[in-house]
Amino acid sequence: MTEIGLAAAIEAFFVDRDLAPNSQRTYRPVLDALVADHGPDLSVSSLTAAKVRRTLKKRWDASAPSTWNSRITALQSFIGYCDRNGWIRRNPLREVERRREPRDETKAMAYDDLDKLWSRPDVGLREKTLWRMLYETAARTNEILALDVEDLDLARKRAVVVGKGGHREIIVWASGTARLLPRYLNSRRRGPVFVTSRQPNVVPADRDRCPDTGLGRLSYQMAWKLFSRESDGATLHQLRHSALTHLGEEGVSAVLLQAKSRHQDPRTLARYSKPGVEAVAALTADHDRGRRHRP
């Protein structure tokens, strides 16, 4: 096993990974904290769960669960890099747990905000296509990212996904995705639908690599980071939640909502079809008995 100091490994990580500026800003303080607490010359192979927990608790124990979890995400990326290079004996994060984040009851995003988001000229075609597809299909993110080009039926605006329980299910999209998807695929006829923007550092499994371009399948982590960055902290799941909420606000029946969402238990669907604040505000205004009547 190659021995390398903590500081040297961190610098190699930032150079080799060529991280986006936002990721560098997020990851750097966490990894610098490890160096400050345990020394730049500590061998990466000697980094234990106890040492990692000590740094996390010392600096972020009182932080919100989302902050704590984001620090663990940064550490996971670094530890994964060290593992691939053969610098660690045992994953020091195995005994470090994420914290449960409270459920956000305001998850639905206004359609106008979503439309502005995926219409922005500085947002790439891949992200526009992915976000529109997630919204219009109301599918789960992992289902869409697992799609291969061969699963698509572009003419009928549908695809076959592997849903919960391993069942093959059909999802359907609308005109927004239908316009973007052929442009994004750019005549690709096989391999993952959503791929990385550059060649991966580690050769992916055959099923996760485009046989024509060599690009790897886009990971959930990267897709999540990009959407969170551009949407001021929203999550990809909110696209699914928003789609079902908007349909519910438009009077779509519970039977059709269940068919669209592919939930087995209709009681589970209730938390997704809760009307948003704007719908409640419109309802209140429409039934305001105290307002003055216009002449």
Listing DSSP states for 196-219 in one string gives -SS--SSPPPGGGB-TTT-PBBPP
| pLDDT at residue 1 in the model | 66
Helix residue ranges per DSSP H, the chain: 6-17, 21-38, 49-60, 65-84, 111-119, 125-137, 141-145, 175-185, 220-230, 237-249, 254-261, 266-269, 277-286
Asked if residue 178 lies in contact with residue 157, where contact means CB atoms within 8 angstroms, the answer is yes
Asked if residue 159 lies in contact with residue 142, where contact means CB atoms within 8 angstroms, the answer is no
> Residue 186 and residue 181: Cα distance in Å, rounded?
9
> Residue 226 and residue 124: Cα distance in Å, rounded?
10
Segment 130-159 shows an average pLDDT of: 95
What are the pLDDT digits (tens) for 27-46? 899 999 999 999 999 999 99
Interhelix angle 237-249/111-119, nearest 10 degrees = 130
| pLDDT at residue 78 in the model | 92
Q: Report the top-level CATH class of 111-278.
A: mainly alpha
Collapsing DSSP states into helix, strand and coil, what is residue 3?
coil
Higher pLDDT, 267 or 229: 229
| pLDDT at residue 295 in the model | 46
Residue 19, H or E segment: none
> Residue 193 and residue 171: Cα distance in Å, rounded?
15
Measured from the Cβ of residue 20, the count of other Cβ atoms closer than 10 Å reads 13
> Residue 294 and residue 244: Cα distance in Å, rounded?
35
**Is the predicted pLDDT of residue 123 greater than 80, yes or no?**
yes
Q: What is the pTM of this model?
A: 0.61
Residue 177 exposure: Cα atoms within 13 Å on the Cβ side: 23
| pLDDT at residue 257 in the model | 84
Per-domain residue ranges of the chain? 6-84, 111-278
CA torsion sign for 81, 83, 86, 91 is: positive
Higher pLDDT, 168 or 107: 168
**Is the predicted pLDDT of residue 90 greater than 60, yes or no?**
yes
**Is the predicted pLDDT of residue 19 greater than 60, yes or no?**
yes
Listing DSSP states for 43-67 in one string gives BGGG--HHHHHHHHHHHHTTS-HHH
Segment 92-100 shows an average pLDDT of: 87
> Residue 127 and residue 133: Cα distance in Å, rounded?
10
Higher pLDDT, 214 or 22: 214
What are the pLDDT digits (tens) for 238-285? 999 899 888 888 888 888 888 888 877 777 666 655 666 666 777 677
> Residue 68 and residue 30: Cα distance in Å, rounded?
11
Q: Amino acid identity of 12?
A: A
Higher pLDDT, 292 or 251: 251
